[in-house]
Each structure stands twice: as C-alpha cells, then as structure tokens.
C-alpha cells in the first residue's frame, strides 16, 4: 500500500514542504513518484519517517540523523535504541521538573527572610537535569561560528566544558530572577548579562547588531532553544529575545 504525500503529512503532522526537503537532501526519498509528479510513500518510508521524527525530538540535527540511519543495519534494534533514549529523556525531564519546582520553593523562602538561596541548598543542585550542551548544537544555523566554537571546545578539558555549561545555565537563572523581579529588559543589570553573552560570542567571531538580533529571535522561534529557556522560567525565551533587541539597538 502506498500513501500520497498529503496523507503522510496528515498522519505525521509534517508539512509537505518538509517532506519534499527530506527527499531533496536524501534523508527520506519516496517509494515512487507517480506519473502526475506526486510522491508516494510505503510502509518502509513511514517507519523511516518515524525514526527521523524521534531523533529530531531527541535534539539530533538532520545531517547527524542521516549518518545514523545510513549506519544502522537492523531496524528493530535501532527502534529499541531510540526507545531507550526516549525513556532516558523522560527521566531527564522528570528530574528537570523537580529541579525547577525546588528552585521556586527556595526562591520563595529566600525572599521571605532575605537568606541567599545558595545557603538554603547547594548551588550545584540548581543544575540537575539541565543539559545546555544539547542546545549548543543549534549554532549550526551559524555554521562559521559553530565551527570556530567547536575548534575551541576541542582544546578544552572536560572540566572546562562543564564549567562553561554551568555558567551558561547560571546566566539563564540570573535572567529569570531579574524577570521575576520585574526588571525591564533595558535595565542596566539585564543589559550587563546580555553584554556578557555578546562578548562571549564575539570572542569567537565578529557579530553585528542584525546577527545578534537573529540569535535573539531564535531563542523564541527555535523549539529547542525556547524549551531550554522556558524550562528555567515560562516566558524567559521572550525576555531574552527582547533584552537582546534592546542591546542590539544600542549597537546601531
């Protein structure tokens, strides 16, 4: 049995445009193309599409998905592997939910009596379940910058990489605290945090105002970046975007 592209799109939630793109890059060719030029998909292509979507949900980029699918031999064993990764992701998200819930409670206690939150709990507990490195992969949208970042990271020790990840997560938490306190995005404290971000980016490669604005917009438009911010605090992705916009306006 074969399904036309429109039906595959309806079943999977993937647009016909995306399916055509998958065909163009060799990731998901249709089973056949009819005399009318329409693409048709059979069971094997549906199973492959399922794997693509599962890997996308796990944060894997399209080029890496292509390599994974090309290397796999046994389809059933590949699905078992995806299942294990999904269960691990479920557990990570459960841990992350507990972390954020605990942080909310500790912030509330901290504000009641003025005690620094890090005295209520160990600071490293702020980072349980958070994996910023998953979202660094999305710099591939800026390939030259991603390449230079990758070259620098390759020279770093595991401890240095982990320290950098923790600092980026800490920055997100500091922004969340400023947002919760009602600080406007052009507040000096907010802009100081954004300035630190901008300087860390431009340490690898010059980025102008428009390029920085594009990164700010990606915080909201890119599903994984948005999830990373909003896992810390709902609305944080928009707050980060607007703070970058205010900073970029000063750059000219």
Q: What are phi and psi of 26, to 5 degrees?
A: 80, 10
206-229 residue pLDDT tens: 788 888 888 888 888 877 778 777
30-86 residue pLDDT tens: 999 998 889 999 988 998 898 888 888 776 778 878 888 887 767 777 777 777 777
Query: Which tokens go with 222?
Result: 């890119």
Sequence-ordered list of residues with C-beta below 8 angstroms from that of 65, at least 6 positions apart, any chain:
27, 51, 52, 55, 56
Q: In whole angstroms, give the CA distance from residue 231 to residue 93.
A: 9
Residue 4: in which H helix or E strand, if any?
strand 3-4
What Rg value do the Cα atoms of the chain yield, rounded? 22
Q: In whole angstroms, give the CA distance from residue 34 to residue 39.
A: 6
pTM of the prediction?
Answer: 0.45
CATH architecture of the domain formed by 3-72: Orthogonal Bundle (1.10)
Contact (Cβ atoms closer than 8 angstroms) between residue 103 and residue 126: yes
Q: Does domain 130-252 have CATH number 1.10.3720.10?
A: no
Task: Find the helix packing angle between 223-232 and 158-180, rounded to 10°.
Answer: 70
């Amino acid at each position: 049995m074969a399904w036309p592209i429109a039906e595959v799109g309806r079943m999977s939630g993937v647009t016909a445009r995306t399916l055509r793109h998958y065909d163009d890059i060799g990731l998901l060719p249709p089973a056949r193309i009819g005399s009318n030029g329409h693409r048709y998909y059979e069971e094997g292509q549906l199973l492959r599409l399922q794997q693509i979507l599962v890997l996308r949900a796990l944060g894997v980029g399209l080029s890496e998905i292509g390599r994974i699918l090309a290397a796999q031999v046994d389809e059933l064993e590949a699905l078992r592997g995806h299942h294990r990764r999904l269960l691990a992701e479920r557990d990570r998200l459960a841990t992350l939910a507990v972390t954020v819930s605990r942080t909310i409670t500790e912030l509330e206690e901290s504000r009641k009596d003025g005690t620094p939150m890090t005295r209520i709990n160990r600071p490293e507990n702020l980072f349980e379940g958070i994996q910023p490195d998953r979202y660094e992969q999305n710099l591939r949208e800026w390939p030259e910058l991603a390449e230079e970042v990758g070259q620098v990271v390759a020279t770093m020790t595991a401890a240095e990489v982990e320290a950098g990840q923790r600092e980026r997560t800490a920055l997100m938490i500091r922004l969340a605290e400023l947002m919760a306190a009602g600080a406007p995005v052009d507040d000096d404290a907010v802009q100081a945090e954004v300035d630190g971000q901008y300087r860390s980016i431009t340490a690898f490669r010059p980025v102008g105002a428009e390029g920085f604005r594009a990164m700010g917009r990606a915080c909201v438009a890119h599903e994984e970046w948005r999830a990373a911010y909003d896992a810390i605090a709902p609305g944080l992705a928009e707050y980060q975007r607007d703070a970058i916009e205010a900073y970029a306006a000063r750059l000219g």
